[in-house]
């Protein structure tokens, strides 16, 4: 066993969450260290370097609010910033607050074991480091563990395989190449138009068609940016009162779908379409609750797809049938129109599944199937979301049980922040919190602030541990599922439900509704940390 370094707090991950956690912990005077698998800061924005990668929450909102000078001084260039720009921003934050010196990069945490007698966590890494920490903060990300599809023969492909989430730092040369993309989720929707610009031939393997709403991305007008900055604290506060913690500048009407006549409804959808982006699903307040209401929005988008694609057969294949918003809505820049280009082909692998990958390319259909020759295969196949990163660490709690075993039937947390049996372990945007159903930077700041206040409270009151109580946790998990069951979210096989990972239990993992959640956390805290045991 290597000699261990003793710290007050160990933070795993150097994305938005881990960096802010280190900053706040230092502010408390704690001895804090961080460990990050990547070779630099940025998390999501370090790893996802595929062409077209950008945020789908407006940059002016998809940014930290904790420091007034920072938010005033940083200038965003686009409505939806690209990955390089967001990474530059995070690097700027890391330098501005001198955060890098606390992190060990290129190092993966492999085990974490609670010692009741210490009481401390012992944490080990793949570099042979060991830490003893009073508090362990998992800032490991909801979408940080990419998955490859289980396609026979994948390893035999003679060309290059690229995963959107592990895109090489040196941009691969796709010019003149025959490229295949597997997947049509957000990563694919963003990358396909740009891959098409470079490739000689592009084949998109689509299993489930996707709903995409235009980004209407544009350069940020300095006056618009200045106007937001003049009211930043107020706009941020308004956003925190919104269901997904973003959208304070979106024109709103609080109406249900069938409260208005058909013409008004159509106008309202058109207005939301012209505004662009995720707020489309807020055009009416019942779109994700009432199936008939949802169908009106879905039908509106289907008509828009038909308008953008000239070949009716291709348009039909691109047209989704599931509930809109059930899988995360995609925000696009020229996605559908890409399929009008003669060198772009859409292959419906929902109807005729991929049989195998061969050294030469992809074989679709089994008996009289077709071989599609490729030089490059891009996997835009997503993530083991919400639990994947935690699941890859051997985390052993109070009675020696692993988190993996405890979560075998689905993740169990209290408030998405603590886990029964795992004292002094905090999960930033853990399952059971709004996390991926909110502007995540806002959700992260909320959690990190709470963890900071909680550690200060423990230290200030002479306590050493905090642990979620079993009963409170069970009630919370049931509540999260109950809330989901009143909506249309559970109606399709999304990653919110774990349905994209073979064998993963189908449990709806995020909690719907940011402001209500914030209120509940605040009530619990004010009520002497109801549902937690403090010793």
Binding site for ligand NAP (CB under 6 A): 55-56, 143, 149, 151, 164, 182-188, 190, 205, 207-208, 328, 331, 349, 354, 380-383, 436, 495, 500
When asked if residue 109 is in the footprint of ligand FAD (CB under 6 A), the reply is yes
Q: Quick one: what does residue 74 bind among ligand NAP, ligand FAD, none, with the CB cut-off 5 to 8 Å set by partner type?
A: none
Which lies closer to ligand FAD via its Cβ, residue 17 or residue 297?
A: 17
Angle between helices 440-460 and 232-240 (to 10 degrees): 90
Buried b (16+ CB within 10 A) or exposed e, 220-231: beeeebeebbee
| Closest CB 385 distance from ligand NAP, rounded Å | 7
* List 5, 108, 207, 229, residue binding ligand FAD (CB under 6 A): 108
Q: Give pairs for 257-261: CB < 8 Å, separation 24+.
A: 257/284, 257/286, 257/287, 257/290, 257/292, 257/293, 257/296, 257/297, 258/292, 258/293
Applying CB under 6 A, which part among 55-63, 308-316, 370-378, 455-463 lies near ligand FAD? Answer: 55-63
- What residues form DSSP beta bridges with 5? 131
For residue 318 the two structure tokens come to 């691109």
For residue 406 the two structure tokens come to 């405890």
Applying CB under 6 A, which part among 48-56, 290-298, 336-344, 459-467 lies near ligand FAD? Answer: 48-56
Which lies closer to ligand FAD via its Cβ, residue 16 or residue 300?
A: 16
* List 37, 212, 288, 305, residue binding ligand FAD (CB under 6 A): 37
* List 11, 22, 35, 518, residue binding ligand FAD (CB under 6 A): 35
The Cα–Cα gap between 481 and 471 comes to: 16
Applying CB under 6 A, which part among 43-51, 63-71, 417-425, 462-470 lies near ligand FAD? Answer: 43-51
* List 7, 9, 12, 162, residue binding ligand FAD (CB under 6 A): 12
Which lies closer to ligand FAD via its Cβ, residue 25 or residue 458?
A: 25
| Closest CB 382 distance from ligand NAP, rounded Å | 3
361-364 and 354-357 beta bridge pairing: antiparallel
Cα 513-515-518 angle, rounded to 5 deg: 110
* List 10, 11, 30, 48, residue binding ligand FAD (CB under 6 A): 48
| Closest CB 449 distance from ligand NAP, rounded Å | 23
When asked if residue 53 is in the footprint of ligand FAD (CB under 6 A), the reply is yes
Closest CA to 228 of 79, 403, 423, 34: 79
- Whether the CB-CB separation of 509 and 387 falls below 8 Å is answered with yes
- Whether the CB-CB separation of 274 and 216 falls below 8 Å is answered with yes
Applying CB under 6 A, which part among 7-15, 95-103, 192-200, 259-267 lies near ligand FAD? Answer: 7-15
| Closest CB 519 distance from ligand NAP, rounded Å | 25
| Closest CB 176 distance from ligand NAP, rounded Å | 25
When asked if residue 11 is in the footprint of ligand FAD (CB under 6 A), the reply is no
Which lies closer to ligand NAP via its Cβ, residue 35 or residue 377?
A: 377
For residue 349 the two structure tokens come to 């692998």
For residue 282 the two structure tokens come to 């807020």
When asked if residue 349 is in the footprint of ligand FAD (CB under 6 A), the reply is no
When asked if residue 209 is in the footprint of ligand FAD (CB under 6 A), the reply is no
Q: How many CB atoms sit inside 10 A of residue 515's CB?
A: 15
- Whether the CB-CB separation of 131 and 33 falls below 8 Å is answered with yes
Site for ligand FAD in 457-496 (CB under 6 A): none
Which lies closer to ligand FAD via its Cβ, residue 387 or residue 424?
A: 387
- What residues form DSSP beta bridges with 163? 379
How many separate helices (H) and strands (E) can be counted in the chain? 16, 20
Which lies closer to ligand FAD via its Cβ, residue 19 or residue 315?
A: 19
* List 9, 13, 283, 488, residue binding ligand FAD (CB under 6 A): 13
| Closest CB 399 distance from ligand NAP, rounded Å | 35
- Widest pairwise Cα distance in the chain: 72
Strand boundaries in 158-269, DSSP class E:
160-163, 178-182, 201-206, 212-214
| Closest CB 247 distance from ligand NAP, rounded Å | 15
Q: What is the CA radius of gyration of the chain?
A: 23
* List 7, 10, 32, 43, residue binding ligand FAD (CB under 6 A): 43
Residues contacting residue 268 through CB under 8 Å, at least 6 positions apart: 253, 255, 260, 283, 284
| Closest CB 378 distance from ligand NAP, rounded Å | 11
Terminus-to-terminus CA distance in the chain, angstroms?
Answer: 30
Which residues here bind ligand FAD, judged by CB under 6 A? 12-18, 35-38, 43-44, 46, 48, 53, 55-57, 62, 108-109, 139-144, 187, 389, 393, 428-429, 439-440, 444
């Amino acid at each position: 066993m290597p000699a261990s370094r003793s710290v007050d707090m160990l933070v795993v991950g150097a994305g938005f969450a881990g960096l802010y956690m280190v900053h706040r912990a230092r502010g408390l005077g704690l001895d804090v260290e961080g460990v990050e698998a990547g070779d630099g800061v940025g998390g999501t924005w370090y790893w996802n370097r595929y062409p077209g990668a950008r945020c789908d929450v407006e940059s002016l909102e998809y940014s930290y609010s904790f420091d007034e000078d920072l938010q005033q001084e940083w200038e965003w260039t686009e409505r939806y910033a690209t990955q390089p720009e967001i990474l530059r921003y995070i690097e700027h934050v890391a330098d501005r607050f001198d955060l890098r010196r606390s992190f060990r990069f290129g190092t993966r945490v492999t085990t974490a074991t609670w010692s009741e007698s210490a009481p401390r966590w012992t944490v080990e890494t793949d570099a042979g480091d060991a830490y003893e920490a009073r508090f362990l903060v998992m800032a490991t990300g909801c979408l940080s563990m990419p998955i490859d599809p289980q396609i026979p023969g994948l390893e035999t492909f003679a060309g290059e395989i690229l995963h959107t989430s592990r895109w090489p730092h040196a941009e691969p040369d796709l010019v003149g190449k025959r490229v295949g993309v597997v997947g049509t989720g957000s990563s694919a929707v963003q990358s396909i138009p740009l891959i098409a610009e470079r490739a000689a031939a592009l084949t998109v393997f689509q299993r489930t068609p996707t709903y995409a709403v235009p980004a209407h991305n544009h350069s940020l007008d300095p006056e618009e940016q200045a106007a937001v900055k003049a009211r930043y604290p107020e706009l941020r506060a308004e956003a925190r009162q919104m269901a997904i913690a973003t959208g304070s500048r979106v024109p709103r009407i609080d109406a249900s779908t069938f409260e208005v006549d058909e013409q008004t409804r159509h106008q309202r959808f058109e207005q939301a379409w012209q505004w662009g982006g995720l707020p489309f699903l807020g055009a009416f307040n019942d779109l994700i609750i009432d199936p008939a209401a949802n169908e009106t929005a879905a039908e509106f988008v289907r008509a828009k797809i038909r308008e953008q694609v000239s070949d009716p057969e291709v348009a039909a294949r691109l047209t989704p049938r599931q509930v809109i918003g059930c899988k995360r809505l995609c925000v696009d820049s020229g996605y559908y129109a890409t399929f009008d280009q003669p060198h772009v082909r859409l292959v419906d692998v929902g109807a005729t599944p991929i049989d195998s990958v061969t050294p030469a390319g992809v074989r679709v259909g089994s008996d009289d199937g077709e071989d599609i020759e490729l030089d490059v295969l891009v996997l835009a196949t997503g993530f083991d979301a919400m639990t994947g990163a935690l699941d890859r660490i051997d985390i052993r709690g109070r009675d020696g049980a692993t988190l993996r075993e405890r979560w075998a039937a689905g993740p169990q947390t209290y408030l998405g922040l603590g886990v029964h049996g795992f004292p002094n372990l905090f999960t930033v945007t853990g399952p059971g919190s709004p996390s991926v159903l909110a502007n995540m930077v806002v959700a992260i700041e909320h959690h990190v602030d709470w963890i900071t206040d909680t550690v200060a409270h423990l230290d200030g009151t002479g306590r050493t541990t905090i642990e979620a109580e079993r009963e409170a946790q069970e009630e919370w998990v049931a509540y999260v599922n109950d809330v989901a069951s009143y909506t249309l979210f559970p109606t399709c096989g999304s990653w919110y439900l774990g349905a994209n990972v073979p064998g993963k239990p189908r449990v709806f993992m995020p909690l719907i509704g940011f402001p209500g959640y914030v209120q509940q956390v605040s009530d619990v805290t004010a009520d002497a940390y109801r549902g937690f045991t403090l010793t």
